[in-house]
Amino acid sequence: MRRLFLFQLYTATRPSEARLAQWQEIDLQTGVWTIPEHKMKMEVEHTVTLSSPILKMIKELDTHPHSKENYIFKNSHNDKEYSENAINTMLKRLGYAKEELTPHGLRGTFSTILNDKLDEHDPSSDIIEACLAHSIGNKTARSYNHTQYDKQKAKLLEYWGNLLGDII
């Protein structure tokens, strides 16, 4: 469960996206996780370039036998995906009140810290929003600009991974 928590922290994804990540969505050669549209809140496919620490962790997990269709993070008690409340329960056991820290709140932490450090990294606040799979710009702007900002997101997520350090 610790690895699931760290995976979500480093990737800035929603709890359900991290919890339901499957091996078939991860390309270990390119280090890209492609989350299918049916798993996304906005129902648009989202790509996450995995930072060096997360890619290393995923490759370590990949040594265990599994089907490419299986969930990456499984509950050891029943070999199924973790429940929606698993990380909340872990945080509660660690002494965090729900008002202090929640899995979804990690996304706010990601945004706050990186927006505060805009002068230290090249990507703009738009790229932070793209990492969070948020829409950028108004409807008219989005009708003209269809980029996914993959290179910029990769750069920012690597910066984020380095900023967090090797806590894995």
Give the pLDDT confidence of 71-104 residue by residue, as tens digits: 999 888 888 899 999 999 999 999 998 889 999 9
pTM flag (> 0.85): yes
Confidence at residue 166, expressed as pLDDT on a 0 to 100 scale? 73
The whole-angstrom separation of Cα 95 and Cα 81 is 24
Cβ neighbors of 124 (< 8 A, separation 6 or more) are: 118
Give residue 143's pLDDT. 72
Confidence of residue 68 (pLDDT cuts 50, 70, 90): low
**Cα distance from N-terminal residue to C-terminal residue, the chain:** 12
More confident residue, 148 or 16: 16
Q: Please name each of the domains of the chain with its CATH number.
A: 2-164 (1.10.443.10)
Please report the pLDDT score of residue 69 as a whole number.
62
Query: 100 phi and psi, to 5 degrees?
Result: -90, -40
